[in-house]
Structure 1
Amino acid sequence: MGAAHGLRGEVRLWTFTEDPMSVTRYGPLSTRDGARRLEVSQARGAGDHLIAALTGVTTREQAERLNGTELYVARDKLPETDEGEFYHADLIGLAAVDAAGTAIGTVAAIHNFGAGDIIEIAPPRGPTLMLPFTGAVVPTVDIAGGRVVIETPEEIDGEEPDLG
């Protein structure tokens, strides 16, 4: 959630959903730790984000205290995915292996800092690896098999990659 908007408790809200307005239909959204629940009662588009009214937030001061709060939709409220589709949250905790099946680590997170998705892999030892989700790294997602296969263009061309 971003800064307050106006005087009546509205906030700037960035969504990571196919349809940004769907946040009005998910019911209460929760903070990461589940300690707080907020419901979007009204929203309208404003460029790359929404201006949203939240149930119980009626003043600018209340809205300002929410700046920077990340809100999450309960998994069971999201629509089912089609064959071959997945939510980023489905990848967290999966094993990450190379094309030969050698363990690289575990998927720790998926990030997007504005230039595309980044997959973060936690190896058994050492710092995490941050790899582009598309382009330099072409992952094959096998949720049923519990793994993500990381293939670099070098592997696709028959050369050994350097994954760090």
Structure 2
Amino acid sequence: MPALVCVARIGAAHGVRGAVKLWTFTEDPFAVRSYGLLSSKDGKRQFEVATARAAKDHLVATFKGVTTRDEAERLNGIELYVAREKLPATDEGEYYHTDLIGLAAVTMAGDALGRVLAIHNFGAGNIIEIAPPTGATLLLPFTDAVVPEVDIAGGRVVIALPEEIAGEDPSPGRPGEGRDP
């Protein structure tokens, strides 16, 4: 099965003729029109954008075969995917999340940390989530300082672990840390 990339999410119905709000995750919001058929994550449903126009922070779009508000309302929340190979090549230092998922994560010294589980963005920048063989996942800033090397062809990312991770409790008993002398 080819790698899929989420390019848009359908929002609420807009008007009475089958239009929906459409949030796109592409550099050019109108690029969703050029990918041909878009599919749901499970591949069971396919959609073709018939029209699209810009709105405040999204597009207002119609899909072929969707002509009523009731039909449009049933689409709310569906994420739309396209096969990775249909997308344009990335520039140096840019990556599609799907290209990073599953890569080995290693330290600067080459020691294994785990595998890249996901890339998140909660509004303050990208976060790389690494699943170690055991224990809790690591959430680290996806910055050049913390991830100095991404080697997709080699199947790995190099992680420069920060000296201290916010929220960690210092070990009791170390002089000057965690307790008063």
Same fold (TM over 0.5): yes
In structure 2, what is the Cα distance between the partners aligned to 1:114 and 1:39?
30
1:103 to 2:112 alignment: yes
* Unaligned residue ranges in structure 1 (runs of 5+): 155-159
Q: Give RMSD over aligned pairs.
A: 2.1
Normalised to the residue count of structure 2, the TM-score between the two structures is 0.78
In structure 1, what is the Cα distance between the partners aligned to 2:31 and 2:89?
14
Q: Could you give the per-residue CA deviations for residues 49-93 of structure 1, whole angstroms, max 9, x where no partner exists?
A: 111111111111111111111111111211122344321110011
> In the alignment, which of 123, 136, 160 is matched to residue 127 of structure 1?
136
In structure 2, what is the Cα distance between the partners aligned to 1:57 and 1:136?
47
Aligned residues: 158
1:140 to 2:149 alignment: yes
> In the alignment, which of 117, 132, 138 is matched to residue 126 of structure 2?
117
Q: Could you give the per-residue CA deviations for residues 20-75 of structure 1, whole angstroms, max 9, x where no partner exists?
A: 10001100111111111111111111122111111111111111111111111111
Identity %: 70
Runs (4 or more) in structure 1 with deviation over 6 Å come to: none
Cα 1:9/1:133, change in 2 over 3 Å: same
Q: Determine helix, strand or coil for the equivalent of 1:2.
A: strand
1:11 to 2:20 alignment: yes
In structure 1, what is the Cα distance between the partners aligned to 2:164 and 2:110?
13
Q: CA deviation at 1:162?
A: 5.2
Structure with max Cα Rg = 2
Aligned positions of 1:11-90 closer than 5 A: 11-90=20-99
